[in-house]
Chains A and B, each alone.
Chain A
Amino acid sequence: MTNHWIDIKNSNCILIMGSNAAENHPISFKYVTQAMENGAKLISVDPRFTRTSSKADIYAALRSGTDIAFLGGMIKYILDNDLYNKEYTAAYTNAPFIVGKDFSFKDGLFSGYKGAEEGSGPSLGSYDKSKWAFEMDENGVPKMDRSLTHERSVFKLMKAHYKRYDLDKVSSVTGTPKEDLLEVYKTYAASGARGKAGTIMYAMGWTQHTVGTQIIRTMAMIQLLLGNMGVAGGGVNALRGESNVQGSTDHCLLWHIWPGYLKTPKASNTSLDVYNTKWTPKSNDPLSANWWQNYPKYSVSLLKSFFGENATAANEFGYNWLPKVDDDKAYSWFDLFDAMYKEEINGFFAWGQNPACSGSNAGKIRKSLEKLDWMVNVNLFDNETGSFWQGPGVDPSKVKTEVFMLPASVSVEKEGSITNSGRWMQWRYQGPKPMGNSRPDGDIIMHLGHLIKEEYKKDGKFADPIKNLKWDYETAGVYDPHKAAKEINGYFIQDTEIKGTVYKKGTLVPSFAFLQADGSTSSGNWLYCNSYTEKGNMSARRSQKDAVNNIGLYPEFAWCWPVNRRIIYNRASVDPKGQPWDEKNWVVRFEGEVKDGKYVTNKWTGDVPDGGWYPLENPDGTKRTDAKSPFIMRKHGYGQIFGPGLADGPFPEHYEPLECPVEKNYFSSQMINPTAVVYSTKDDQHATCDPRFPFVGTTYRVTEHWQTGLMTRPQEWLMELQPNVFVEMSEELAKLRGIENGERVKVSSARASLDCIAVVTKRFKPFKIGYATVHQVGIPWHYGWRWPATGKEESANLLTPPAGDPNTRIPETKAFMVNVTKL
């Protein structure tokens, strides 16, 4: 979230699309309800009428996988009706930038496209992004036309791109009636007025598509056009699917990043110098903070944290002890199981996860596990993954994999922090002691590390990384979460003088502004530098005092990255003179003294400002040269309406899902995302426009269960509420198939079939797509054969497809094709 949970209450218009917050983030509705009591409008856009929709002022249905068409239509509406915030768009976004002459877009393809060779890998193709570069002036600063009239300005190109997204076409693709589209557009676009804010609450309904990243970008563009970024009650807000997903992502759960969103080095980054040069952006614009210019300070401090005294300038701080990924290869979830399936990986730690039920095309995952030599399952209980060898259709005598179970403690039995969707790091004390022989993950991993180090002392290829790893997060032989938290914050490694103050060796670094690239500081994650300082554990704070602006920031409750800034990009919440767009729910404001129409002292109040520089303009309207543009994490300092960094193009474009019910894409002759990833072993089947699978399928969660149900299926009170896997369908579809409400039916896809209880409901309605009637069904994915004991409630992910987004490789589990028949 750019904003945070409580801030939802400040919104004037809440769009819930790609999520079902009332069911899957029920506590968020405390703040949604508060906003509505203050007059906010709630809009629910979902293929199915949900418990969220039941509370909404406006509900609009759309066919799964058509969100870009829906939102592209909103961009057109905003531009056609002049509803964008002109001052904000011209001053803070890259709408005025001039795009180079090499950029073009024709029939669904941007310039620079190259299709992949047959059989070369899962990626269907890629772009030469240099074709999308901005034009630079003689100083190397992007050329701009603040009047937004230049024919190659981002603004004009955007207008041309979305001109095609007219109501008729959008409606015929999404299946949303035109009047519903208009009502949503009109209501949401009203949040572009000065002093108004609109927010988006999205989740896996947006990410899990072959165009997932671009759906979110479309919304980011809308938020920039309406001036909704950085303001209270605005932002782009991802509702994370687990209480600590934000924390685990920040600390590099994913393969392509190091902690704090530093880059995983590639094979071509042959030295620390090459690595730092490659990933440190350069801007020639004196008004751009270009915060990532500090990259080497963070990467070196991270290496110092990994290797301690063994990391020296002479050995590049141990940079070459770390693995490098091949330049053109991905190592995502999909790719790891694909490699396992192809017997390229033979050992696997399944740590706190249940891929046999949670991964798309779970049947392939289950087969992959059979190909392993060994697997260690670290979890609270046995699950479908740990017991795959005795699963449905598996002959245990034929499985060679040796499986170990390490019982882990549940979160309440451990001390440590979680970081929620709103970036709040919250310290939790230990409740009950761990049960039986279960152990906290920290203990398990520390112990494992010591044993591996012992092994490498004896022998082992390339032992340096293991031998030199600093491994001292214990007190009296037991994992100490405070030591880990302090390591993450970082220390001064030697006596260091900064701006006249001497910080003694061993002192905790006060904030990332103090980190150094010369090895004099360490930090396990620069973003968290400031969380555990000499003042104490900031995340354990519990003050309920609000900040001066009284908008629910509660700055002394827990701690939030970066540097306790509760709303990021908050300097876009003020006009160029530093005064809030919204006088009532203001986030920051500039209160420096004025002399002769000029600011002469520097003072911000409210939230921690996104950099404490002077505003861009003085009260008399003169430009300042010591100011910075508000989007400080972007190279040029501007919010990106044109996004030249993504794999699939600088403007989001509608493509159909890999499996879809239509013969053609109404927007171009490109049927699916030309850069999508599609896997292709014999256990990666797919079928599009295939009469065997005529209905759109999607998966989702219900409020009564959690993830694959490992913690909720054994819980009888929750099973009482949702005892069976079910498939929801319209009354019309049930009639077509002769299905009675409550009877058990078969749902099948090109991958597998699944028995479910039919829930026949008014909450699904057939879609009118072009001239055709298209039915959609949906299935929750919380079940698995291991529990309940009947073994009949199976995972919906047996059905889901082997394709994903080119930027994230997140699977397309939200839109695929199925059949539904009577048993």
Chain B
Amino acid sequence: MTKSFFIDTTVCTACRGCQVACKQWHDLPAEATVNTGSYQNPADLSFSTYKLVKMNETVINNKLNWLFFPDQCRHCIDAPCLETAFDPNAIYQDAATGAILYTAKTKGLDADAIIGSCPYNIPRKGPDGSISKCDMCNDRVHNGKKPACVETCPTGTMNFGDREEMMALAQKRLKTIQKKYPKAMLLNPGDVNVIYLTAHDPALYAEYAVASTELKNMSRGVAIRKMMGPFARLMKV
């Protein structure tokens, strides 16, 4: 059975333990940042930042909210980046876990097309032209451990397990949260293996919290493959 994250933003305190744990496990270099007038730092995801807690101050119903959104790759069930790449040596899905994985061979891909194909604006191009993003800590998962970000989370925001179990947890939490926040919702739960729960309109949390309907730079070939859906993968073999 494939794996899923359930990310309950309603209990996230933006301690950013997940953000640091990700860098630590993947041994990613720190970026030279400056405070630009916000706690959110780095300003955006990058080739060496796979996980970023986005922070937004918003007034909703005359009440100030500080919304936190630990952003990362959604590990889509049918991943547009994978389909766009159409090269299993560069981007493939681990059948056991469902993780969408990028290899060094992404260097040979059209990075802009891959990035443009992502409805959540996640992958980032490195100086050598290769592309990176969250890998679900697939090495940890295959060794019976949870992803580093999940292991470090103190509040239960970050959850990880079999997809059915995570989906059940997400539905249960949604019901509870909706009692207080009727507009609470799960974000694209049927399409992704990283299921977010938000209390408010997801657009208030992050621009691409829910899938963008407008896929930039999607080539005609990809569009056709997308339309053909599962057949495309069959043809690829």
Residues of A participating in the B interface, judged by any CB pair closer than 8 Å: 22-23, 26-27, 29-30, 33, 37, 49, 51-55, 59, 702-704, 716-724, 726, 740-743, 757-763
Q: Decide yes or no whether B15 CB sits under 8 A from chain A.
A: yes
Could you list 13 examples of A-B contacts with CB < 8 Å?
Answer: A23-B13, A26-B15, A30-B155, A33-B11, A51-B14, A54-B66, A54-B67, A59-B64, A723-B34, A723-B35, A758-B37, A759-B38, A759-B39
Q: Knowing A33-B155, A49-B64, say if A763 contacts B57 (CB, 8 Å).
A: yes
In the bound complex, CA of A718 to CA of B31 (Å) = 10
How far in angstroms is the closest Cβ of chain B from A753? 19
Which residue in A703, A741, A763 is a CB contact (below 8 Å) of B16?
A703
In the bound complex, CA of A759 to CA of B40 (Å) = 11
Q: Decide yes or no whether B96 CB sits under 8 A from chain A.
A: no
Of B18-26, B99-107, B131-139, the one touching chain A: B18-26
Q: Decide yes or no whether B6 CB sits under 8 A from chain A.
A: no
In the bound complex, CA of A703 to CA of B155 (Å) = 14
Which residue in B20, B34, B67, B156 is a CB contact (below 8 Å) of A718?
B20
Residues in chain B near residue A22, CB distance under 8 A = 13, 15
In the bound complex, CA of A578 to CA of B23 (Å) = 54
Q: Knowing A33-B11, A49-B64, A53-B66, say if A720 contacts B154 (CB, 8 Å).
A: no
Contact A716 B155, beta carbon cutoff 8 Å: no
Contact A722 B39, beta carbon cutoff 8 Å: yes
How far in angstroms is the closest Cβ of chain A from B199? 11
Closest chain B residue, CB of each to CB of A762: B57
Contact A54 B65, beta carbon cutoff 8 Å: yes
Contact B37 A704, beta carbon cutoff 8 Å: no
Residues in chain A near residue B213, CB distance under 8 A = none
In the bound complex, CA of A726 to CA of B41 (Å) = 14
Contact B30 A703, beta carbon cutoff 8 Å: no
Contact B59 A741, beta carbon cutoff 8 Å: no
How far in angstroms is the closest Cβ of chain A from B179? 11
Contact B15 A703, beta carbon cutoff 8 Å: yes
Chain B interface helix/strand/loop/mixed: loop
How far in angstroms is the closest Cβ of chain B from A57? 9
In the bound complex, CA of A716 to CA of B30 (Å) = 6
How far in angstroms is the closest Cβ of chain A from B24? 7
Closest chain B residue, CB of each to CB of A36: B11
In the bound complex, CA of A26 to CA of B152 (Å) = 11
Contact B23 A55, beta carbon cutoff 8 Å: no
Contact B35 A717, beta carbon cutoff 8 Å: no
Contact A726 B35, beta carbon cutoff 8 Å: yes
How far in angstroms is the closest Cβ of chain B from A234? 22
Contact B35 A724, beta carbon cutoff 8 Å: yes
Q: Decide yes or no whether B143 CB sits under 8 A from chain A.
A: no
Closest chain B residue, CB of each to CB of A720: B30
Q: Decide yes or no whether B36 CB sits under 8 A from chain A.
A: yes
Which residue in A53, A723, A757 is a CB contact (below 8 Å) of B37?
A757
Residues of B participating in the A interface, judged by any CB pair closer than 8 Å: 11, 13-17, 19-20, 23-24, 29-39, 41-42, 57, 59, 64-68, 154-156, 176
Contact B11 A722, beta carbon cutoff 8 Å: no
Which residue in B13, B33, B39, B155 is a CB contact (below 8 Å) of A720?
B33
Which residue in B16, B31, B64 is a CB contact (below 8 Å) of A704?
B16
Q: Knowing A26-B13, A55-B11, A763-B57, say if A723 contacts B66 (CB, 8 Å).
A: no
How far in angstroms is the closest Cβ of chain A from B39? 7
Closest chain A residue, CB of each to CB of B180: A57
How far in angstroms is the closest Cβ of chain B from A138? 58
Contact B35 A30, beta carbon cutoff 8 Å: no
Residues in chain A near residue B156, CB distance under 8 A = 30, 33
In the bound complex, CA of A702 to CA of B35 (Å) = 14
Closest chain A residue, CB of each to CB of B30: A716
Which residue in B15, B36, B59 is a CB contact (below 8 Å) of A762?
B59
Chain A interface helix/strand/loop/mixed: mixed
In the bound complex, CA of A321 to CA of B24 (Å) = 52
Contact A723 B33, beta carbon cutoff 8 Å: yes
Closest chain A residue, CB of each to CB of B29: A716
Contact B30 A55, beta carbon cutoff 8 Å: no
Q: Knowing A23-B13, A742-B37, A757-B35, say if A29 contacts B154 (CB, 8 Å).
A: yes
Contact A759 B15, beta carbon cutoff 8 Å: no
Which residue in B41, B67, B68, B155 is a CB contact (below 8 Å) of A722?
B41
Looking at A49, A721, A741, A762, which has the most chain B CB atoms within 10 Å of its CB? A721
The 5 closest A-B pairs by CB, nearest first: A742-B37, A716-B30, A741-B37, A54-B66, A22-B13
Closest chain A residue, CB of each to CB of B24: A717
Contact B37 A717, beta carbon cutoff 8 Å: no
In the bound complex, CA of A718 to CA of B17 (Å) = 10
Closest chain B residue, CB of each to CB of A765: B64
In the bound complex, CA of A761 to CA of B66 (Å) = 11
In the bound complex, CA of A49 to CA of B32 (Å) = 28
Which residue in B23, B59, B65, B154 is a CB contact (below 8 Å) of A26?
B154
Which residue in B13, B33, B34 is a CB contact (below 8 Å) of A29?
B13
Contacts A54-B13, A721-B41 given; 17 further ones with Cβ under 8 A?
A22-B15, A30-B155, A49-B64, A51-B66, A51-B68, A52-B13, A55-B11, A55-B13, A716-B30, A717-B20, A717-B23, A718-B20, A720-B41, A721-B39, A726-B35, A741-B36, A743-B37
Closest chain B residue, CB of each to CB of A715: B30
In the bound complex, CA of A182 to CA of B144 (Å) = 51
Contact B31 A720, beta carbon cutoff 8 Å: yes
Contact B35 A759, beta carbon cutoff 8 Å: yes
Contact B37 A763, beta carbon cutoff 8 Å: no
How far in angstroms is the closest Cβ of chain B from A27? 5
In the bound complex, CA of A759 to CA of B11 (Å) = 24
Closest chain A residue, CB of each to CB of B63: A59
In the bound complex, CA of A173 to CA of B27 (Å) = 51
Closest chain B residue, CB of each to CB of A724: B35
Contact A722 B35, beta carbon cutoff 8 Å: yes
Q: Knowing A718-B20, A723-B33, say if A763 contacts B15 (CB, 8 Å).
A: no
Residues in chain B near residue A760, CB distance under 8 A = 37
Residues in chain A near residue B29, CB distance under 8 A = 716
Residues in chain A near residue B14, CB distance under 8 A = 51, 54
How far in angstroms is the closest Cβ of chain A from B69? 12
Closest chain A residue, CB of each to CB of B20: A717
How far in angstroms is the closest Cβ of chain A from B200? 12
Looking at B15, B35, B57, B67, which has the most chain A CB atoms within 10 Å of its CB? B35
In the bound complex, CA of A762 to CA of B65 (Å) = 9
Closest chain A residue, CB of each to CB of B57: A762
In the bound complex, CA of A704 to CA of B35 (Å) = 13
How far in angstroms is the closest Cβ of chain A from B159? 13
